[in-house]
């Protein structure tokens, strides 16, 4: 069975690992629901705190502005001061 998704198994494993890391820090990892690869926030994510606010500066087109590299950098403490 083949899929049309450009999202690899490795990316899904990495996303799940980052989701658990975010939960340990009291955050949620929310993925954009866009399915159009031409959309500006396609395949991007947002880190959300317990009050529902993003933990980064959202992009002009919406809150989903982080790719998995950005999420990993933020969670490791390199992306923002809290």
Helices (H), the chain: 9-24, 68-75
Give tens-digit pLDDT for 23-35.
Answer: 999 999 999 999 9
The pLDDT-based confidence of 8 (bands split at 50, 70, 90) is confident
H or E, element range at 30: strand 28-31
The pLDDT-based confidence of 6 (bands split at 50, 70, 90) is low
Count of H helices and E strands in the chain?
A: 2, 2
Residue 62 per-residue DSSP state: B
First to last CA, the chain: 44
């Amino acid at each position: 069975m083949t899929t049309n998704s450009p999202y690899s198994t490795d990316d899904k494993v990495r996303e799940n690992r980052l989701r658990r890391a975010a939960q340990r820090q009291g955050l949620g990892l929310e993925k954009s629901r866009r399915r159009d690869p031409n959309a500006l926030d396609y395949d991007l994510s947002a880190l959300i705190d317990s009050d529902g606010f993003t933990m980064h500066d959202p992009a002009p087109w919406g809150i989903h502005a982080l790719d998995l590299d950005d999420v990993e950098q933020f969670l490791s403490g390199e992306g923002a001061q809290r």
